[in-house]
Amino acid sequence: MLHTKICDILGVQYPIIQGGLGHMSGGELAAAVSSAGGLGTIALTTRTRDLYAQEKWPISVRNEIKLAKSLTNKPFAVNVPMDNNVHDKFVEAAIEEKVKVVVLAAGNPRLYAKTLKAHGIKVMQLVFAVRHAQVAEAEGVDAVIASGVDAGGFIHLNELPTLALVPQIVDAVKLPVIAAGGICDARGMAAAFALGAEGVQLGTRFIATNEALAHQNLKQYLVNAAETSTIVTGRKSQMAMRVIKNKFTADLMEKEATGFTKEQMGVFIGSGRGLVAIMDGNVEEGSVGCSPSVGMIKEILPAGEVVRRLVADYSKIVSRLDGLAK
């Protein structure tokens, strides 16, 4: 049976979490994942370009929370990135809308963990190293999400692979650890549990779903992608991201090689670069976080079907491993 302590903590059937996908994970996707037994996540969703302004993100998130609540009675999470100027409004929305789970990212859990927990909200912290997990544990979070360099989107300059990161965090803290980064199917899920994880988080796989707020061109790109279709940009400018490989990233890497500073890189990238692919479907000129596990995606599916296949295939893997052990 696919049930761990994280299921009891989060109130879900399966220890499967949909990662926050930036402007692609709204109420429909979160509700579909949660209704299938996992934990869906709403991120700083943008449905129109008008909402790209940071001050309007909390409005969008609140709307998506209301949408998810209208579509499911199961728990879902809200992702709160603390690298912007409106994260306090995200927390305010989560509290007022009585969200069950909040995922804190890109910042110190000290800012909000105790406040959220005082309102009965379960708190998970995204971490990239053992010391991050230990800080999160000291602040009283309910679980940590150990994200390796295999993940799509922003990555830590430590660049610790998921396979090495997860067991070291498991050994260092008493909290439940959720493995993230490069997990795309039941094989990755089984490997994560073997490392001591109590759950898994998948991001890239859920972009290629019916409910994700991404242009069909982008979803099809993921289906056609290979294991070499991603690249890490921004190492020298301290803005490391694993993204899809395209004309834009080639230009970006060329600029970085000339010694562009973080400020110069920000100007070159400009605002709304991700929306070029996500909303317009121009995959060659957009910047979209993506894991190298993308080469394992072969079709666009309903999000609930992704969860169901993970569960069914996991049972087959466990049965095969049991046979090998005899």
Residue type, 252: L
Q: Do 46 and 95 lie in a common domain?
A: yes
pLDDT tens-digit series, residues 155-208: 998 899 999 999 999 999 999 999 999 999 999 999 999 999 999 999 999 999
CATH of the domain at 66: 3.20.20.70
Report the Cα 33 to chain-centroid distance in Å.
Answer: 13
Asked if the structure places residue 225 within a domain, the reply is: no
pLDDT tens-digit series, residues 35-86: 999 999 999 876 767 656 777 788 889 999 999 999 999 999 999 998 888 8
Q: Give the whole-number percent of the chain exceeding pLDDT 70.
A: 98
Total count of domains within the chain: 2
Lowest mean pLDDT among 137-141, 232-236, 243-247: 232-236
Q: Do 169 and 262 lie in a common domain?
A: no
Asked if the structure places residue 222 within a domain, the reply is: no
Report, as an integer, the average pLDDT of 253-276: 83
Residue 139 has phi, psi (to 5 degrees) of -85, 0
Domain range for 21: 5-213+297-325
280 band by pLDDT with thresholds 50, 70 and 90: very high
Looking at the DSSP bridge assignments, the partners of residue 180 are 147, 201
Sequence-separated (6 or more) residues with CB below 8 Å from residue 50: 56
E strand or H helix at 191, and its extent? helix 186-194
**Average pLDDT value over all residues in the chain:** 93
CA-to-CA distance for 215 and 207, rounded, in angstroms? 10
